[in-house]
Every structure is written in C-alpha cells, then in structure tokens.
Amino acid sequence: MPSQQWSHTLSSYLPWTSPPLLISAPMGGFAWAPLATAVSLAGGLGLIGSLNDMSQLRTQLAEARSTFAASSNAAIKDSPTLPLGVGILAFICKIEDVVPVIREFEPAVVWLFAAKQLDDYTAWVDALREASPTSKVWIQVGNVEAALHVAKDARPDAICLQGADAGGHGFEKAAGIISLVPEAADALRREGHGDIPLLASGGIVDGRGVAAALALGAAGVVMGTRFLASKEVAIHPIAQAAVLEAQDGGQATRRSKLFDQLRGPNVWPEAYDGRSLVVQSYQDHVDGVGLEEIQRLHNEAVLGEDKGYATGRKGRAAIWAGTGVGSVGKVEEAGNIVEKVKREAREVMGGLAKL
Ligand SMILES: Cc1cc2nc3c(=O)[nH]c(=O)nc-3n(C[C@H](O)[C@H](O)[C@H](O)COP(=O)(O)O)c2cc1C
C-alpha cells in the first residue's frame, strides 16, 4: 500500500507530526507565523502563506523560530529543520531572492505553486535543494497532466493534488479530488513515479473529508478554508463573518478569472483562476455590467474602512474560499481544529473498518 510507505517517508522528516497528516495551506496574506506555528505545535504542518517581500518572510520566520524556541514541545524543539513550511508563488518570486532566506532558516518544507510554466519548477527544486538539503520541496498542481509533468522533470519530494473545490487560486481545468487523486496516483505509478507521496487539497474541512482523501490514496491533507475560521488567521473581521455566514458552497462560491481582474489586469498565469465567495462584483459580471465599471466600483469600495468586504454577498472585494465553506461555522483555535479534525478522521475510519 503506497500511502503507508509515503506516510513513513513524510513522518521521517516531519517527526513532530502525528497521523493523519494535516497541513494548513500557505494562504498568502492570511497565514502568518501565528497560524503556522499553532498548527505545527498541535502535531500538524503549518505553512506560512506566500509572500512577495522577502524581508517580510524573514520577519515571519524569525517570529516562528522564537515561538518554537519558547515551546516546551520536545519534538518541535528537537526538529532538525524549522518545523513548518513556506509557501512560494513561483510566478511572482525570483529564485535568487528566495534561496538565501531558505538557506538561512531551513524550513522543513518549501511549497511551490503557480509557476508560469511547469518546466520552471525544475530550476526551483534544484536551487532550493542545493541551498538547504534538509528542506523538502513540495509542488501543488491541479490535474493529472501537470502531476506527471512535475514528477518527471522537477522530482519534488511530494505533490499536492488540488481539487476544483479548493478556495483561492487553482487550475482552471481541474477535477474534484474524488476523481483527481486516484487517477493521478495510478498514472504516476504507471510512469514509475509511485515513490512520490501525494497529498490532497480542495473542499476538505473536517474529519470526514480527511478520511475520504486518505481512502482515495492521499498520505495527508491540506486545508485552507477551514483555517479561515481560526483565531490565528489574519483575515478582516467582515471577510471572516462572510465566510462563517456562507452556506451551500456550490452556490455560495464560484471559480472565475473575474476575481483576478477586479484590481486591474490579471497577473496570474493563464492556467489559473480562483474560487471566491459570490460577491456583488461577480453578480454584476453575470448581470452584464462591463469590466471597467466593475473595477471602478471595486477600487472605490476597497478604499473604505470595510476594505470592500461585506456580508450578504454585497461586498465588492473577492473573499477566497472553497466549496467546503458551508460546513465552516465557528471560529476556533487552530490547534483545536487540528486535534478535532484528526480525532474525527480516526473515528470515521474506525467506523468504516467495522463494515
Ligand atoms: C484565502 C486563501 C488564500 C490562498 N492563498 C494561497 C497562496 O498564496 N499560495 C498557495 O499555494 N495556495 C493558496 N491557496 C490555496 C491553498 O493552497 C489550497 O489549495 C486550498 O486552500 C485548499 O482548498 P480549501 O480552501 O477548500 O481547503 C489559498 C487558499 C485560500 C482559501
């Protein structure tokens, strides 16, 4: 059973984690040191969200290092690497800017996403491995073709398969994890890449989702939207209220490139769109309002105290969230979320084993 071997591989370099492996997503601008450290201290893997400014990333990593140093958690203190991960958006950052930070802080994991071209990852992986041989490099992709491509060329230490239900940016052409994970796992095995551990993300918000992802063949699970309702996340209170209020994720959220055009020209690589709560800007787009007018109203609204966020779908700014949002109803400490979701997953798997 490859996922058992993968779990062994992953726990060998994430020794403070306990199964099932839960990972908080590197939500750029939302997941800072307080969230990442809380998740790792609870036995998960916390990721710091993608940042463009390397001095900001250094500050976050220094804060995380002192939080870990002050902790009495022996597994965290004994970790040979900084026991968290760092998200990097490969289309924005430059390898030469990122490498010195990774060399200095040696995070357990460097997570790469959204390269302009899939071929670009090879240079990233090589440079990061050379700079910090103890750090592992993971890549998130959204379809089988991309998984095969990066497995063959870049040879990452793990691949996260991001399903179409995911909040935030993702592959425009993607399936949900229920189809994506098994098909990608079979294809990778057939092509001789069955040694690369697979993780799953997209729409997973509780122990049932974790158990399902593990049953599909993933060795661990990445959750973003669930942590938008954590005490440690850096989110505007009105945006968080909108997340808590949203029900029926298939109707409350939508994937669209419009969300990346609200501020001006879309800078994301062609293959990507993003999933946000349905907001007034999107409704206007459906109703035929022109892009320029939508942008004007958006850019006016974000200058306000509420930053363009509102509940009741009335906001103008995007509120990135996945389809699992309807099951996210209250704000909890990130550590409690990790423990609770793991417990639920074990209960679900125990129940299924009796069938
Ligand atoms: C608010 C938000 C911001 C995100 N920002 C990033 C990011 O900066 N870099 C990245 O690799 N993924 C980002 N993601 C996507 C996550 O990596 C992950 O695929 C997603 O959260 C999983 O789906 P879920 O939100 O349904 O759990 C973001 C997701 C959300 C919800």
The gap from C-alpha 270 to its chain's centroid, in whole angstroms, comes to 20
Q: Give me 264's structure tokens.
A: 């001006």
47 CA distance to ligand 1 middle (Å) = 11
Assess whether pLDDT exceeds 60 at residue 232.
Answer: yes
Is 168 touching ligand 1 by the criterion CB < 6 Å?
Answer: yes
Instruction: Based on the fold, state whether residues 192 and 290 are members of the same structural domain.
Output: no
Q: Is 311 helix (H, G, I), strand (E, B) or coil?
A: coil
pLDDT score for 3: 77
Closest atom, ligand 1, to C-alpha of 275: 31
Q: In the predicted model, what is the mean pLDDT of residues 41-70?
A: 97
Is 50 touching ligand 1 by the criterion CB < 6 Å?
Answer: yes
Q: In the predicted model, what is the mean pLDDT of residues 329-354?
A: 97
pLDDT score for 313: 97
* Percent of the residues in the chain that have a pLDDT greater than 70, as a whole number: 99
Per the CB < 8 A criterion, the answer to whether 137 and 128 are in contact is yes
242 CA distance to ligand 1 middle (Å) = 17
Instruction: Based on the fold, state whether residues 59 and 75 are members of the same structural domain.
Output: yes
Instruction: Based on the fold, state whether residues 314 and 185 are members of the same structural domain.
Output: no
Mutate to test the pocket of ligand 1, among 253, 320, 337 (most ligand atoms within 8 A of CB): 320
Closest atom, ligand 1, to C-alpha of 50: 8
- Give the CATH number of the domain where residue 13 resides: 3.20.20.70
Give the integer Cα–Cα distance in Å for 151 and 167: 24
Assess whether pLDDT exceeds 90 at residue 2.
Answer: no
Beta bridge partners of 82: 107
Instruction: Based on the fold, state whether residues 273 and 180 are members of the same structural domain.
Output: no
Instruction: Based on the fold, state whether residues 134 and 222 are members of the same structural domain.
Output: yes
Pairing between β-strand 220-223 and β-strand 21-24 as defined by DSSP bridges? parallel
Assess whether pLDDT exceeds 90 at residue 171.
Answer: yes
Instruction: Based on the fold, state whether residues 167 and 115 are members of the same structural domain.
Output: yes
pLDDT, one tens digit per residue, over 154-165 is 999 999 999 999
Q: In the predicted model, what is the mean pLDDT of residues 283-305?
A: 98
pLDDT, one tens digit per residue, over 83-102 is 999 999 999 999 999 999 99
Is 201 touching ligand 1 by the criterion CB < 6 Å?
Answer: yes
223 CA distance to ligand 1 middle (Å) = 8
220 CA distance to ligand 1 middle (Å) = 16
Average of per-residue pLDDT values in the chain: 97
Smallest Cα–Cα separation from 137: which of 92, 198, 85? 85
Is 49 touching ligand 1 by the criterion CB < 6 Å?
Answer: yes
Instruction: Based on the fold, state whether residues 284 and 340 are members of the same structural domain.
Output: no
Is 165 touching ligand 1 by the criterion CB < 6 Å?
Answer: yes
Q: In the predicted model, what is the mean pLDDT of residues 316-344?
A: 98
Number of H helices, E strands in the chain: 15, 11
Is 157 touching ligand 1 by the criterion CB < 6 Å?
Answer: no
Q: In the predicted model, what is the mean pLDDT of residues 301-321?
A: 97
Report DSSP state, residue 218: -
Instruction: Based on the fold, state whether residues 147 and 212 are members of the same structural domain.
Output: yes
Instruction: Based on the fold, state whether residues 134 and 40 are members of the same structural domain.
Output: yes
Which structural domain range is residue 117 located in?
2-234+327-353
258 CA distance to ligand 1 middle (Å) = 17
Give the integer Cα–Cα distance in Å for 46 and 31: 9
Assess whether pLDDT exceeds 60 at residue 1.
Answer: no
pLDDT, one tens digit per residue, over 242-267 is 999 999 999 999 999 999 999 999 99
187 CA distance to ligand 1 middle (Å) = 25
Give the integer Cα–Cα distance in Å for 86 and 332: 23
Instruction: Based on the fold, state whether residues 278 and 154 are members of the same structural domain.
Output: no
Smallest Cα–Cα separation from 155: which of 196, 212, 210? 196
Instruction: Based on the fold, state whether residues 70 and 217 are members of the same structural domain.
Output: yes
Instruction: Based on the fold, state whether residues 180 and 84 are members of the same structural domain.
Output: yes
* Percent of the residues in the chain that have a pLDDT greater than 90, as a whole number: 98
Total domains present in the chain: 2
Q: In the predicted model, what is the mean pLDDT of residues 99-107?
A: 98
